[in-house]
Amino acid sequence: MIDASFDFMLIVPALLAGILILSIHAPLGQEVLNRGIIFIDIAIAQIAVLGVIAATIFSGDLAPWQIQIFAGLGATLGALLIHRLEKKYSAILEALIGIIFVLAASGGLLLVSYAPHSDELLHALLVGQILWVSYEQLLWVTLLYIPLLVVWFTLNCKQRPMLFYLVFSLAVTASVQLVGIYLVFASLILPALASRKISNQKIQLFTSYGVGLIGYIIGIIASILFDFPTGAITVWSLLLVVIIITPLINKLKMERE
């Protein structure tokens, strides 16, 4: 349990990281559900992870900006591949995305077995270390997200698949390095699931943001109170909020109809 002397300012960076992640993953998640490509984020994220691991193993210690370049290149190439597959094999796209994820994940494990000390990096990229993010990390992610959000809300990415995949790949690349693959997936899909039946797009997006934020707050506080892994408990917290909120949203919708 947490002692009375704990400084809650220590969790402020984690909360800010959650807000950053949700700022772009909430709208992206809604589009992912609309397109029916649920596992695209973990596939692209896993490709980004593969790029980071490969760069670290074969190039040694890298500066954060160098890691970001390798991860971004990997994720962008993965997004371009999925975009091409979507055009040619739309009927089996979800299966192909699953195969890409498995190949990228197993490739990462093969690289880790080649350089055993990289297993800590792999663990961090999967589970994340949101409780220990720095303000410096938050700054460069913010600088990336601002133009991505401007592009998303001004250039109608929903009608421009190539632009959607580009924004998606860059956002996921940065998100994974902040909070890990599992929490990125949960942040993308769970708030979108909770709000999917709301017809008004603005209210739908606002609901996604609210569900995600409540989930992050509960998860981070629970991790401090009970010494749980922050990323893992936040995934479960997001699910809990969705389970509670979704019936209420459905009830309100039925009453209005």
Indicate if the pLDDT at residue 160 is higher than 70.
yes
214 vs 55, higher pLDDT: 214
Residue holding tokens 């663990």?
A: 123
The tokens describing 78, both together, are 């993965």
Selected residue with higher pLDDT from 27 and 51: 27
Give 202-256 as a DSSP string: HHHHHHHHHHHHHHHHHHHHHHHHH---HHHHHHHHHHHHHHHHHHHHHHHHHHH
* Mean pLDDT, range 185-199, rounded to an integer: 90
pLDDT for residue 5 is more than 60: no
In this model, does residue 57 exceed pLDDT 80? no
Instruction: Tell me if the pTM is above 0.85.
Output: no
Lowest mean pLDDT among 41-45, 96-100, 200-204: 41-45
pLDDT for the residue 254: 65
Q: Which residues, at least 6 apart from 167, have a Cβ–Cβ distance to it below 8 Å?
A: 24, 28, 148, 151, 152, 157
Are 13 and 71 in contact by the 8 Å Cβ rule? The answer is: no
Mean pLDDT score of the chain: 83
For residues 101 and 245, what is the distance between their CA atoms, to the nearest angstrom? 30
Distances (CA, A) of 61 to 68, 118, 121, 199: 13, 11, 12, 49
| Residue 189: per-residue pLDDT | 92
**pLDDT of amino acid 127:** 73
Please tell me the distance from the alpha carbon of residue 209 to that of residue 15, in angstroms, as a whole number: 13
pLDDT higher than threshold 60 for residue 124: yes
**pLDDT: is 51 or 30 the higher one?**
30
| Residues 45 and 181 sit within 8 Å (Cβ to Cβ) | yes
Q: Which of 48-62, 98-112, 189-203, 239-253 bottoms out in mean pLDDT, i.e. has the lowest?
A: 48-62
Residue 207 has φ and ψ, to the nearest 5°, of -65, -40
Structure tokens at 257: 């109809």
Considering only CA atoms, which of 129, 135, 178 is closest in space to residue 13?
A: 135
The answer to whether 79 and 32 are in contact (CB under 8 A) is no
Residue 4: pLDDT over 60: no
For 223-255, write each residue's pLDDT tens digit. 988 888 888 899 999 999 999 998 888 777 666
Distance CA 187, CA 176 (A): 11
Percentage above 90 pLDDT, the chain: 24
252 touches 197 (CB < 8 A): no
The residue that leads in pLDDT, 45 or 152, is 152
Taking the C-alpha atoms of residue 15 and residue 3, their distance in angstroms, rounded to an integer, is 20
pLDDT in tens, 78-103: 888 887 887 788 788 888 888 888 89
One DSSP character per residue, 134-199 reads -HHHHHHHHHHHHHHHHHHHHTTGGG-HHHHHHHHHHHHHHHHHHH-HHHHHHHHHHHHHHHTT--
Q: For residue 181, what are its two tokens?
A: 């693959």
Q: Is the pLDDT of residue 147 over 90?
A: yes
Classify domain 8-256 at the CATH topology level. Answer: ABC transporter involved in vitamin B12 uptake, BtuC (1.10.3470)
